[in-house]
Structure 1
Amino acid sequence: MTVSRQDHSTQGITRWRFVLVLMVMVALLLLILLRLVSLHTVDQPFLFEEGEKRIVRAQVQPARRGMITDRFGKPLAVSTAVTDISLNPQVFDLAQVAPLAKVLGISANRLTQQITAARQRGRGFFYVDRQVQPAQADQVVALGLEGLQFESRFRRYYPAAEVTAHVVGIVDIDGNGQEGLELAYNDYLTGTGGRRTVIRDRYGRVVKQLAVESVAQPGNDLRLTIDLRLQYLAYRELMAAVRQHHATSGSAVLLDAHNGDVLAMVNQPSYNPNNRAGLKPAYMRNRALADVLEPGSTMKPFTVAAALDSGRYTPSTLVDTSPGYLRVKNKTIRDHRDYGVLDVTGVITKSSNVGVTLISADLGAETVFKIMSAAGLGQATGLGFPGESVGILPYPEQMDDLRLATVSYGYGMAVSPLQLAQSYTSFTQHGCRLNATLLLDSESRPDCQRVMSDKVARQVLDILETVTSDLGTGRRARVAGYRVGGKTGTAHKVGENGYEDATYNAVFAGIAPLTDPDLVLVVAIDEPQGREYYGGEVAAPVFSRIMEQALRLRQIAPDDSTAAALIVAGGPK
């Protein structure tokens, strides 16, 4: 059988094709072997590092923020564990939006729009929800959705809500103080975060802890002088009064007369720091510290104290206030009516503007300024509270005859309710003014400031008691069973064109019990509406209700001998 030349040629081509394919396969095999060797030798450190980047994370452990408590350890601000949930828009499957939105209680359509917009912008991260409760976060984890990440942190919670909001303040979503003591002591309350190395799965869950570089250190706790019981009752009574008189706002400050501790500090309107929806910035201001007002007749006891301390006056020194008005420069100073001849005690009892004007003119600006300044008026209280106002007290050289007259009865100057309360401690501590404080464990309490002699302080207390008698302007401030002293104040507010005829501040500053003073309380109501607007009509009843409950809560024995006799006898017959 003969084989043609064409057949030999075909067999040769087939053999070369086989050899070529075999050589290509061998070359590919050699390349694969070389690549494997390279991956396990040359590239191994790099690949190991890249692998770790995808599963090994340096995780910051948040530190718990220090707790804020009242004087008895009741929590006013605490930090609770929560979870922040975020996702990678480039990885997350839009088909999984519905179950995620259902668990979190958010709009599925809105979440879809957010993810789509983030993808278009090339973003690789955004928060789905923050400060999610642990139980709800566990439900999201159980969904097993790719692209989600979970970060543990703490959320601030305020058990007393709006009752202590102005004192404690608030933090932002990242736990940084924004208002109140949360801001003033932010560094002290903030802890030091820890750091650890962990392995995470593709869902962002920690599956293994590799190393702990540092342990989170919690922040320091802050213990306040506030008594939460007194804070609640003061808030309740103030809120009721503001609503009753349709007032713009109000403040009340209660101090311990023995050491200056702030036992209660409340304001209206207030806000709930746990629910900030619709929060108005004006509601966040601590008016007891940040706002100032002309204190009106609550300043008259200091003018009288300056007169008594000068040695030229006694409580029985006579002052002729006839005919009930007095012309000073271009202004006519008037009393409610012509009181005729009053003694110094009667000047306070009847709240005579003419009487204190005559006394201050006789004493001179330097003497009046000295005692008011020593009482802390026109000066910061030293609390270190953010936004605190120092008030206004004109210097002697700024006081002409008219300015001196107005200052003597509380116009032409400005004080905060806290300053006013602090100044009244001058009468409770033998003429030595205490410094108000909000921190119970304060190591350094400044020595009290001498304002007047012990004798004068006692005389002023006795004079203040006449204000709450049947003859005085503060009858509605009385507390059954206790000797109470204080001073009403009613001041016209300043408007665009000077003092307004129909807008007032109603104030009452008082002390109880007078035998051994325990509490100092100031109540200020801004712009009460209606027929009642005097301090004795608006602020004095609030003072009475707060003071009565506070004295009984503190278990202070009654010192009114008449009332005590009735109590022992089983009540009136």
Structure 2
Amino acid sequence: MKPRNRAQFNLRARLAMVAGALGLSSLALVGRAVDLQLIDNDFYQKQGNARFLRDIEIPTSRGMVTDRNGEPLAVSSPVESVWADPQELLKHPARLPQLAKALGVPADYLTRKVSQRAGKEFMWLKRRISPVAAKKIVALDIPGVFSQREFRRFYPQGEAMAHVLGFTNIDDEGQEGLELAFDEWLRGTPGSKRVIRDNRGRIVENVDLIKPAQPGKDLTLTIDRRIQYLTYRELKRALLESDASSGSAVVLDVATGEVLAMANLPSYNPNAVESGNRDSHRNRAVTDVIEPGSTMKPLTVAAALEAGVITPETKFNTNPGWMPNGRYRTTDTHNYGILDTTGVLTKSSNVGASKIVALLPDKTFYDFVRRFGYGESTHSGFPGEAAGVFMPPSQWSGTSKQTMSYGYGLSATPLQIATAYAALANGGKLIAPTFVKGQVNESRQVLDAEIAREVMKMMQTVTETGGTATRAAILGYHVAGKTGTSRKASGGGYSREYVAFFAGVVPVDNPRFAMAIVINEPDASRGYGYGGGYVSAPVFQNVMEGALRLMDVPPDDIETWLAAQAAAEAKRNGGKPVAVAAGRISSPQSTVPAAAELQP
């Protein structure tokens, strides 16, 4: 009996020990669970969140850019971008060829690209594609492949507005033009939200909105889309007809300094920047400086009128069509003989301009031209705007002032030339040009209003019979302007290539528009001519005819228009004279034309 009692005792003891061990283990587990879930749960909660809880960015759109009438010039469209978690993707190497085919890239290229980022958790696969295309890729259900919303910039006007607007990069950041100048204004502020992802990285729940996205602010420009298109179209036509290498044109509102149009060629497509020639991105109207040629002569005349050394009737002997200028000659295209001050502008006499500037002290001439903004930026705010070159008298040679009087020895941008002519048209008030509608720049009185009007009347003769720019004349309107034809500077001298200018204002009696056109290297061998009166003046005529109608600017030469309409009507009636009433031909079918909309 005793051995059995001992065995029973040992069994009880063992059971008690096992039960005690299990109890202690259970107690330990309960205590650990209490510790993890109630006492020290922060650390493990963070570890869990780190694997499944994510803060992700909420993309936002860039502000829209519109023309002065609210027409869209730059808009942001929603697109999708495909991305991957390389670590997850590399766990399924057999799916890489399928993914490469969907992306349109070689399989070995994708494999190498993913392998190089094996230690990362994010990489772009394809950015800014259509939502439909992105959905097809994600629908393949390849582990670690996802898509997210982004925005892409779209420019409806294409090449016609490229140089003014510029473009954005793949991250929707402004790179050139007004997109760069107003990048902070246009760029929105991305938001942020907290989400839960599953073990394959897919969002299964939106937990919290941390910060809402703020879209960019819209920007309204002074540009008129219709006038811009006209300017681009006519500039392109002139380049094709003259076989010129490049050209620029600027249209300003005389009273406000607003830039209504600014076109350059060659241009590029801002919707496909990567396919264009980098040199074509340059906005030549504000970055390229050229010697302004004879467009300087009205300023030379204005400076002498202000100084009181000449009057519009002062006579100048330009015989025999040239005069010495140091080791060189100043020449005219013809021997114009005796010219008065107005005739110097009408015939564009270099000799006459030289004799006028000789009456002015160096500093007087320099200070006057500087007042019109030459030698400094126009302060338009456009990125990369050039200041031009206009050296002070201390750096002049003995021939400098004479050559400057007709536009050599100094340089300016097309925008500077247009701004100076707008000041002449605006009663001598210079206003810095602006691209933003509603921005009001203060004017500076740089010339007496009466002298400005005298110069305008003299410039009017340039576009009339006997002047050098009859191709700039517009029926029904008085046009004031000045042609220019200068040789291109090259290697310390001048080449055989030319630059053709025209700068003008319309209407003369109540000026509304100022325009400058610069065409580089027109080919004279094609028989079209290379001078500003042949090449650039027609651009002014065609653009301004459209702009005057679009803006409903009343004619200031209605008699000439009525006479021309009467002659045309008489021709249609077999040469019989037609009575003309104020504003209407006697024929009931013919009336003064109304404003017309021009569409690209």
Report the secondary structure of 2:57's partner residue.
strand
Q: Which residue of 2 aligns with 1:511?
A: 505
- Match 1:342 to one of 336, 339, 344: 339
Any conservation in 2 of the 1:245–1:530 contact (CA below 8 Å)? yes
2-structure distance, mates of 1:454, 1:572: 42
How does the TM-score come out when normalised to structure 1? 0.90
**Aligned residues, how many?**
552
Structure 1 residue matching 2:137: 3-state secondary structure = helix
Q: Distance in 1 between matches of 2:34 and 2:152?
A: 47
Q: 2:561 aligns to what?
A: 563
Displacement of 1:281 in angstroms is 2.0
The answer to whether the 8 A contact 1:294-1:413 is kept is yes
Return the alpha-carbon distance in structure 1 between the equivalents of residues 26 and 114 of structure 2: 41
- Tell me how far apart the structure 1 counterparts of residues 530 and 201 of structure 2 sit (CA, whole Å): 63
Q: Which amino acid aligns with 1:331?
A: Y
1:445 aligns with 2:441: yes
2:231 aligned with 1:271, yes or no? no
Q: How far does the alpha carbon of each residue in 1:198-253 deviate from its partner, in whole angstroms, 9 at most, with x for none?
A: 11234444322211222111222111100011111111111222232222211000
Q: Note if 1:301 corresponds to 2:293.
A: no
Q: For each residue in 1:26-57, what CA deviation from the matched residue of structure 2 results, as whole angstroms up to 9, or x when unmatched? A: 98998799568636633754332222112211
Q: Which residue of 2 aligns with 1:79?
A: 76
| Number of the residue aligned with 1:462 | 457
Change (3 A) 1:26 1:308: same
2:206 is the counterpart of 1:209: yes
Percent identical pairs in the alignment equals: 43
1:474 aligned partner: 469
Q: Contact 1:192/1:218 (CA < 8 Å) preserved in 2? A: yes
2:382 alignment counterpart? 385
Could you tell me how far apart the structure 1 residues matched to 2:19 and 2:486 are? Answer: 103
Change (3 A) 1:86 1:349: same
When structure 1 is superposed on structure 2, of 292-301 and 483-492 the one drifting more is 483-492
Where does residue 242 of structure 1 map in the other structure? 239
Matches within 5 A, 1:131-280: 131-280=128-277
Q: Deviations over 1:534-571 (max 9, x none)?
A: 11111111121111111122222232221134447874
Residue 483 of structure 2 aligns with which residue? 488
Distance in 1, Cα, partners of 2:390 & 2:78: 48
Aligned positions of 1:92-103 closer than 5 A = 92=89, 93-103=92-102
Q: Which digits, 9 at most, give the CA deviation of each residue in 1:118-173, with x for residues without a partner?
A: 44xx4443210011222322333333221123332222221212211111111111
1:314 corresponds to which letter in structure 2?
A: T
Q: Distance in 1 between matches of 2:313 and 2:484?
A: 23
Contact conserved, 2:254 with 2:423, CA < 8 A, in 1? no
Of 316, 320, 327, the residue aligned with 2:313 is 316
Q: Residue 459 of structure 2 contacts residue 481 of structure 2 at CA under 8 Å; is this kept in 1?
A: yes
Equivalent AA in structure 2 for residue 94 of structure 1:
P
Q: Distance in 2 between matches of 1:368 and 1:497?
A: 25
Instruction: Please name the residue that 1:110 is paired with.
Output: 109
Q: How far did 1:497 drift?
A: 4.5
1:526 paired with 2:524, answer no
Instruction: Choose from 347, 366, 371 the match for 2:368.
Output: 371
Task: Name the SS for the 2:399 alignment partner.
Answer: helix
Q: Distance in 1 between matches of 2:502 and 2:26?
A: 93
Match runs of 1:42-81 below 5 Å = 42=36, 44-81=41-78
**2: CA distance, partners of 1:133 / 1:386:** 32
User: 1:233 and 1:94, CA in 2 relative to 1: closer, same or farther beyond 3 A?
Assistant: farther
Secondary structure at 2:128's aligned position in 1? Answer: strand
Matches within 5 A, 1:427-442: 427-442=424-439
Query: What letter corresponds to residue 382 of structure 1 in structure 2?
Result: H
Mapped contact 2:186–2:219 kept (Cα < 8 A): yes
With the length of structure 2 as denominator, give the TM-score of the two structures.
Answer: 0.86
Cα distance in 2 for partners of 1:29, 1:487 equals 107
Residue 547 of structure 2 aligns to a residue whose secondary structure is helix
Q: How much has 1:110 moved relative to structure 2?
A: 3.3
With over 3 angstroms needed to count, the CA separation of the structure-2 counterparts of 1:142 and 1:362, relative to structure 1, is same
Please report how far the alpha carbon of residue 101 of structure 1 lies from its aligned counterpart in structure 2 after TM superposition. Answer: 4.1
Deviation readout 1:501-523 (Å, 9 max, x if unpaired)? x1111110011111211111111
Q: Deviations over 1:232-285 (max 9, x none)?
A: 111111122223222221100001112111000011111111112333221111
- Paired with 1:409 and 1:242, the residues of 2 have a C-alpha distance of 25
Tell me which residue corresponds to 2:593.
Answer: none
- In the TM superposition, residue 367 of structure 1 has moved relative to its aligned partner by 2.4
Secondary structure of the structure 2 residue equivalent to 1:314: coil
Once residues 18 and 242 of structure 2 are traced to their aligned partners in structure 1, the CA distance between those partners, rounded to angstroms, is 98
- In 1, distance between residues paired with 2:332 and 2:257? 34
> Does the CA contact (< 8 Å) of 1:88 and 1:148 recur in 2?
yes
**Contact kept? 1:249, 1:267, Cα under 8 Å:** yes
* CA shift for structure 1 position 467: 0.9
- Asked if the contact 2:82/2:125 (under 8 Å) is kept, the reply is yes
**Quick check: 464-473 or 80-89, which moved more?**
80-89
Separation in 1 of the partners of 2:195 and 2:562?
A: 71
Residues 343-366 of structure 1, C-alpha deviations (whole Å, 9 max, x = no match): 001101111111010110112222
Query: Structure 1 CA distance, aligned partners of 2:418 and 2:42?
Result: 71
- Residue aligned with 2:524, SS: coil
Contact map agreement 1:252 1:288 (CA 8 A) in 2: yes
Unaligned runs of 5+ in 1: 1-15
Report matched runs for 1:546-561 at 5 Å. 546-560=543-557, 561=559
Is the Cα–Cα contact under 8 Å of residues 63 and 193 in structure 1 kept in the other structure? Answer: yes
Question: CA 1:45–1:252 in 2, change beyond 3 Å: closer, same or farther?
Answer: same
Cα distance change, pair 24–395 in 1 and its aligned pair in 2 (3 A): farther
- Is the contact between residue 298 and residue 410 of structure 1 (CA under 8 Å) also seen in structure 2? yes
Residues 258-267 or 375-384, more deviating:
375-384
SS of alignment partner, residue 154 of structure 1: strand
Q: Distance in 2 between matches of 1:548 and 1:462?
A: 20
Alignment-derived partner of residue 10 in structure 1? none
Structure 2 residue 352 is the aligned partner of structure 1 residue 358? no
How far residue 422 of structure 1 moved from its aligned partner, in angstroms, is 0.3
CA 1:34–1:81: 2 relative to 1, 3 Å: farther
- Whether contact under 8 Å (1:489, 1:534) holds in the other structure is yes
Q: Does the 8 Å contact 1:245/1:529 carry over to 2?
A: yes
Q: What letter corresponds to residue 220 of structure 1 in structure 2? A: K
Structure 1 residues 76 and 95, CA gap change in structure 2 (3 angstroms):
same
Contact 1:251 1:268 in 2 (8 A): yes
CA distance in 1, matches of 2:219, 2:283: 19
Distance 2:353 2:567 in 1: 43
Alignment partner, residue 13 of structure 1: none
Counterpart AA for 1:440: K
Mapped partners of 1:155, 1:221: distance in 2: 16
